[in-house]
């Protein structure tokens, strides 16, 4: 079977986030049994050795340059303009901003050639390259790492940032957007039960299959015992509101109670861009 995979996220090295790790692991596994062709984009962090390493793992790679956009005014007028386009077109600005016409043209020709048996979209942002009429030509599957509707819904429910009004206005549009693009595909894959539940609540007419992230036990074997004593490590990006709240709550409210029982216990907070509330 010949599978065409679209991933605008460059999947190597698989160390920069869950989506990158999942995509690379998925591709590496599929490549052991199928003929994989990967269409992807470079990013500013990609090195020549990263490209060589990816091509050593995936034989057929078509790598496009990353789209660069001039710095826009991020004031109220620019935000209002983007919101207006979003309301009118229904596609989130983040999806449109990374769109590559060169990738679109290459994928159009690849589908027209009819040499592929399956099209796989790794991540919902890549749905923008998929034309609805292709349903008659080739089976298409999308692997949704995170539901964009679910992300905004969670942020509103948890007051995770300061853009509450804009997100409440965007939420029904995102719900419609996610439901529409999912119906372009013959099947939907999700990474966890939370995403599966969110998408099922959209009443999709396509099957939703759960394929959870795995763990390479040859790289991370199970330890027979804990040899590091009472040491706790909290890992996360330390400028995210949810992580700030969690780090402070655990440090100030939970960890003192642990120290009462285990006086030798230690706590390490590990993560980039720590804000003053975390450093405190």
- Burial of 123: CB neighbours in 10 Å, binned 0-12, 13-18, 19+: buried
| Predicted confidence (pLDDT) per residue in 59-116, tens digit | 899 999 887 655 555 554 455 455 455 555 567 777 888 899 999 999 999 999 999 9
DSSP three-state, residue 19: helix
Euclidean distance between CA atoms 268 and 95, whole angstroms: 36
Query: DSSP code of 133?
Result: G
Residues composing the chain: 280
In this prediction, residue 222 carries a pLDDT of 80
The confidence band for 173, taking pLDDT boundaries of 50, 70 and 90, is confident
CATH code of the domain occupying 2-210: 3.40.50.2000
Q: Do residues 3 and 37 touch, judged by C-beta distance below 8 A?
A: yes
DSSP three-state, residue 267: strand
In this prediction, residue 46 carries a pLDDT of 86
In this prediction, residue 232 carries a pLDDT of 93
* 152 has pLDDT over 60: yes
Q: What percent of the chain has pLDDT over 90?
A: 56
Q: Do residues 238 and 272 touch, judged by C-beta distance below 8 A?
A: yes
| Predicted confidence (pLDDT) per residue in 184-220, tens digit | 999 999 999 999 999 999 999 999 999 998 877 877 7
Domain ranges for the chain: 2-210, 231-279
In this prediction, residue 80 carries a pLDDT of 46
Buried b (16+ CB within 10 A) or exposed e, 46-73: beeebbeebeeebeebeebeeeeeeeee
In this prediction, residue 184 carries a pLDDT of 95
Q: Do residues 11 and 30 touch, judged by C-beta distance below 8 A?
A: no
Q: What percent of the chain has pLDDT over 70?
A: 88
In this prediction, residue 148 carries a pLDDT of 87
Q: Do residues 233 and 251 touch, judged by C-beta distance below 8 A?
A: no
Residue 239 vs residue 252, higher pLDDT = 252
Q: Average pLDDT in the 226-230 region? A: 76
Residue 107 to residues 110, 115, 158, Cα–Cα distance (Å): 5, 12, 39
In this prediction, residue 168 carries a pLDDT of 62
- Burial of 114: CB neighbours in 10 Å, binned 0-12, 13-18, 19+: exposed
Phi then psi for 167, rounded to 5 degrees?
A: -70, -35
């Amino acid at each position: 079977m010949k599978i065409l995979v679209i991933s605008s996220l460059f999947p190597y090295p698989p160390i920069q986030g869950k989506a990158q790790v999942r995509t690379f692991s998925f591709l590496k596994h599929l490549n052991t049994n199928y003929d994989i062709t990967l269409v992807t984009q470079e990013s500013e962090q990609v090195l020549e050795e990263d490209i060589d390493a990816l091509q050593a793992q995936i034989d057929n790679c078509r790598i496009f340059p990353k789209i660069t956009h001039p710095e826009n005014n991020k004031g109220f007028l620019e935000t209002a303009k983007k919101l207006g386009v979003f309301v009118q077109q229904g596609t989130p600005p983040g999806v449109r901003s990374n769109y590559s016409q060169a990738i679109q043209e290459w994928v159009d020709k690849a589908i027209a050639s009819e040499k592929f048996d399956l099209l796989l979209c790794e991540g919902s942002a890549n749905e923008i390259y998929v034309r609805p009429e292709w349903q008659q030509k080739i089976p298409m599957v999308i692997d949704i790492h995170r539901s964009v509707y679910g992300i905004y819904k969670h942020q509103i429910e948890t007051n995770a940032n300061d853009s509450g009004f804009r997100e409440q206005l965007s939420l029904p549009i995102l719900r419609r957007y996610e439901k529409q693009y999912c119906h372009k595909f013959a099947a939907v894959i999700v990474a966890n039960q939370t995403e599966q539940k969110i998408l099922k609540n959209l009443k999709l007419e396509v099957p939703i299959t759960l394929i959870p992230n795995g763990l390479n036990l040859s790289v991370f074997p199970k330890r027979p015992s804990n040899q590091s004593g009472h040491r706790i490590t909290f890992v996360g990006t330390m400028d995210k509101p949810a992580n700030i709240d969690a780090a402070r709550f655990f440090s100030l409210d939970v960890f003192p109670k642990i120290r009462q029982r285990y006086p030798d216990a230690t706590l390490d907070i590990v993560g980039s861009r720590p804000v003053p509330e975390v450093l405190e």
